Amino acid sequence: MTHRNYKYLHYIQALFICVILIVNLVGANKVSILNVSFPFWPYSLSWPFGTGILFFPVSYLIGDLLTEVYGYATSRMVIWTGFAVLILSTLMVQFILLMPPAPDWPHQKAYEDVFSISWRIASASLIAFASGEFVNSFVMAKMKLLTKGNQLWTRTIGSTIFGEAVDTILFYPLAFLGNAAFSPSLIGQIMLSNYLVKVCWEIIATPLTYFVINWLKKAEAEDYFDTNTNFNPFHIAD
């Protein structure tokens, strides 16, 4: 990782942390239903999904541009920063929920319904987040070397395929397996549908990813290649 003062790195890091905070603290607890109907077809499709998947892929897009422009070591630093912020925010929210409400304040249950989260789900989310993001960044950096910096779309989509797979495979079984409300077959269905949505989201966003990465490379005068990088995710000396 080069030691320079970048113009936009701090803003990108702030955006990354903002996205993962919103997804984990708000999006994780809301389930929506998408109803799709077709002309000349008497049936409609109803698809329940966790709203967090609408914006969670943005963190992978940001991870892609961090690795592509600034290198794996910079991405590693941002991922660990996000991991620490998630732990701290979870602890703070749970502490606030435990504080006794004033007798005339009627919204305690509403707060608990929105922000309460089991420690099992919180732990599963943290493990899946860190693992998926590091796999995404690793694949992105290695494919950049393999393609000699060409064919950016293969790296953005390929890294998301692997990163989101790790995130999905880890989170849902760790969070819900053994829960009477979630049968193994239901968990499998949710895993598959959410994974496909996340990957399709990345594919659709490819033109935007190209534009942002190319603009950022010019603005920062940087296009980092991880030729001598230590890829150990726990090596933070850089």
DSSP string, 144-164: HHHTTT--HHHHHHHHHHHHH
**Which tokens is 6 given?**
């970048």
How far apart CA 196 and CA 48 sit, in angstroms, is 14
Spatial neighbors of 98 by CB under 8 A, at least 6 apart, are: none
Task: Supply the pLDDT for residue 27.
Answer: 63
CA 217 to CA 221: how far, in whole Å? 6
Within 8 A by CB and 6+ apart from 15, the residues are: 62
Identify the residue whose tokens are 């030729």.
227
Say which residues have a Cβ less than 8 Å from residue 186's Cβ, sequence separation at least 6: none
Q: What is the pLDDT of residues 169-216, one digit of tens each?
A: 999 899 888 887 778 888 888 888 888 888 998 899 999 999 999 999
Please state whether 49 falls in left (phi above 0), alpha (psi between -120 and 50) or beta.
Answer: beta
**46 or 158, which is more confident:** 158
Mean pLDDT, residues 228-232 taken together: 93
Residue 3 has pLDDT above 60, yes or no: no
Q: Is the pLDDT of residue 161 over 80?
A: yes
The pLDDT assigned to 69 comes to 96
The pLDDT value given to residue 238: 60
- Entry pTM: 0.87
pLDDT at residue 2 tops 90: no
Higher pLDDT, 49 or 15: 15
For residue range 70-93, what is the model confidence (pLDDT) as tens digits?
999 999 999 999 999 999 998 998
DSSP-assigned letter for residue 100: P
* Per-residue confidence (pLDDT) for residue 184, from 0 to 100: 86
What are 148's two structure tokens?
A: 């000699």
Confidence bin at 144 (pLDDT 50/70/90): very high
The residues near 136 (Cβ < 8 Å, ≥ 6 apart) are 60, 63, 64, 67, 159, 160, 162, 163, 164
Indicate if the pLDDT at residue 133 is higher than 80. Answer: yes
DSSP E strands, 27-164: 31-37, 44-50
Average pLDDT over residues 16-34: 79
Rounded to an integer, what distance in angstroms lies between the CA atom of residue 4 and that of residue 117?
40
pLDDT at 51: 73
Tens digit of each residue's pLDDT (9 = 90 or more) over 61-72: 999 999 999 999
- Cα separation of 60 and 56, whole Å? 7
Burial (0-12, 13-18, 19+ Cβ within 10 Å), 192: exposed
pLDDT recorded at residue 57:
86
Each residue's pLDDT tens digit, 41-60: 777 777 666 677 778 889 99
pLDDT value of residue 29: 63
Domains and CATH numbers, the chain: 9-34+49-98+108-220 (1.10.1760)
Cα end-to-end distance, the chain, whole Å: 7
Q: Band the pLDDT of 154: cuts 50, 70, 90.
A: very high
> What pLDDT digit, counting tens, does each position of 87-122 carry?
999 899 889 989 999 999 999 988 888 787 778 888
